């Protein structure tokens, strides 16, 4: 498929602007309905990231990844292109949109109260220092007077195309559909808060929307899944033993299906939203919690949302819960 992929190196993401946010990703958002109404009247500034020579010099010292600098350059170029494309096409909440470089935004953040800012960020924090420095990609929506040291006004999780076994030393990949999904869903969450006069984080919003639909629309359309997203023990027969709706397994076509708004199709987005830790002997093993969202390709509307049950055994895999396991289809069939 013709889908631009970008690479996120955990090391350099920690060094990019505006990344000092809450470590636990507990879903707290600062903005309520009244705040959002004020933010709607402001000019939206979208961050255009710039290459940082200090970051490049640091990455160049990484002998284990000789392509790290090029990955970084590719990330800058492709992130700017994908985020702009998604905002231009889907963001309707603010009527006036401008694009500003990271260095220009640094002059405004914490000083001006005239703007709101959208930016791609990798979130890490203090609580991760005892285990490992995970980064979780998100799209941030913040007033310009608020600094990165404060909780964000709002944010939306970004679904990677894949997560390496060691997310601290390897690269993550993204497709245009990930940016589209994040922008569409964050705006839907904001619209819901204003309409219902209620502050609600995305995880709770998605769960509520899924429950209200009662999965009634889930099996009326074909669920498109890439084989690369399936766990090693999952194949078509395993899926059909649990899920009775129509499915279509592809090799890298689900992103394109979503981007092209194909009618009668649904796709699954998997994204990390928190960190789990367990102690084995003297070592502490950490892994990423991943949620699943099924959306209608034609409308971008959320159809079904899944959070893993608490207390599940995470084992030792850092990619725990990112891929589609059999139990996911069991819960999906039962609409839980």
Which tens digits make up the pLDDT trace of 214-247?
667 788 899 999 999 999 889 999 999 999 999 9
- Lowest model confidence (mean pLDDT) among 44-53, 158-167, 199-208, 309-318: 309-318
75 versus 98: the higher-pLDDT residue is 98
5-32: average pLDDT: 45
163-171: average pLDDT: 47
Structure tokens at 171: 């690269």
Residue 100, φ and ψ in degrees, nearest 5: -130, 145
Last residue of a domain, one of 196, 223, 258: 196
Do 152 and 211 fall into the same domain? no
Judge whether residue 250 has pLDDT over 50: yes
Structure tokens at 184: 């569409």
Indicate whether this model's pTM tops 0.75: yes
For the chain, give the mean pLDDT: 81
In a domain, 1, yes or no: no
Do 118 and 175 fall into the same domain? yes
Q: pLDDT of 175-190, one tens digit each?
A: 999 999 999 999 999 9
Interatomic CA distance for residues 303 and 87, integer angstroms: 22
Which of 119, 170, 171 has its CA nearest to residue 143?
119
Which of 300, 303, 306, 298 has its CA nearest to residue 271?
306
Distance of CA 211 to the CA centre of its chain: 21
87-111: average pLDDT: 96
Judge whether residue 30 has pLDDT over 50: yes
What single string gives the DSSP state of each residue in 165-215?
A: SSTTTSEEEE-HHHHHHHHHHHHHHHHHHHHHT----HHHHHHHHHHHHTT
Model confidence at 51, pLDDT cuts 50, 70, 90, reads confident
Do 77 and 186 fall into the same domain? yes
**How many domains is the chain built from?**
2
What single string gives the DSSP state of each residue in 74-86?
A: HHHHHHHHHHHHH
In a domain, 161, yes or no: yes
Last residue of a domain, one of 196, 224, 248: 196
Do 307 and 244 fall into the same domain? yes
10-16: average pLDDT: 31
Judge whether residue 94 has pLDDT over 90: yes
Residue 271, C-beta contacts closer than 8 angstroms, at least 6 positions apart: 157, 158, 159, 160, 290, 291, 293
Judge whether residue 87 has pLDDT over 70: yes
Last residue of a domain, one of 196, 227, 250: 196
Residue found under tokens 């589609």: 324
Domain that holds residue 320: 202-333
Judge whether residue 276 has pLDDT over 70: no
């Amino acid at each position: 498929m013709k889908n631009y992929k970008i690479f996120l190196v955990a090391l350099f993401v920690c060094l990019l602007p505006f990344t000092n946010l809450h470590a636990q990703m507990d879903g707290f958002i600062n903005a309520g309905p009244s705040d959002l109404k004020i933010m709607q009247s402001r000019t939206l500034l979208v961050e255009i990231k710039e290459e940082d020579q200090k970051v490049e010099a640091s990455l160049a010292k990484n002998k284990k990844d000789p392509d790290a600098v090029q990955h970084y350059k590719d990330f800058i170029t492709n992130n700017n292109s994908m985020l702009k494309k998604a905002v231009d096409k889907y963001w309707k909440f603010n009527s006036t949109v401008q694009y500003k470089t990271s260095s220009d935004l640094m002059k405004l953040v914490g000083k001006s109260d005239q703007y709101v800012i959208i930016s791609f960020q990798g979130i890490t924090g203090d609580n991760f220092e005892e285990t490992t420095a995970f980064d979780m990609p998100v799209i941030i929506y913040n007033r310009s007077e608020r600094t990165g040291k404060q909780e964000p006004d709002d944010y939306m999780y970004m679904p990677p195309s894949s997560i390496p076994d060691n997310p601290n030393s390897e690269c993550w990949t993204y497709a245009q559909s990930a940016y589209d999904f994040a922008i569409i869903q964050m705006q839907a969450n904001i619209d819901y808060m204003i309409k219902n006069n209620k502050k609600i984080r995305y995880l709770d919003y998605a769960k509520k929307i899924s429950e209200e639909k009662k999965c009634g629309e889930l099996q009326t359309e074909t669920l498109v899944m890439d084989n690369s997203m399936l766990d090693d023990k999952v194949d078509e027969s395993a899926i059909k033993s649990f899920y009775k709706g129509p499915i279509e397994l592809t090799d890298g076509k689900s992103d394109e299906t979503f981007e092209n708004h194909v009618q009668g199709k649904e796709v699954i987005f998997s994204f990390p939203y928190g960190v789990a830790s367990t102690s084995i002997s003297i070592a502490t093993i950490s892994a990423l919690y991943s949620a699943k969202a099924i959306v209608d390709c034609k409308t971008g509307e959320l159809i079904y949302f899944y959070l893993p049950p608490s207390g599940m055994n995470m084992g030792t895999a850092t990619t725990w819960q990112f891929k589609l396991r059999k139990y996911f289809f069991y819960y999906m069939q039962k609409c839980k």
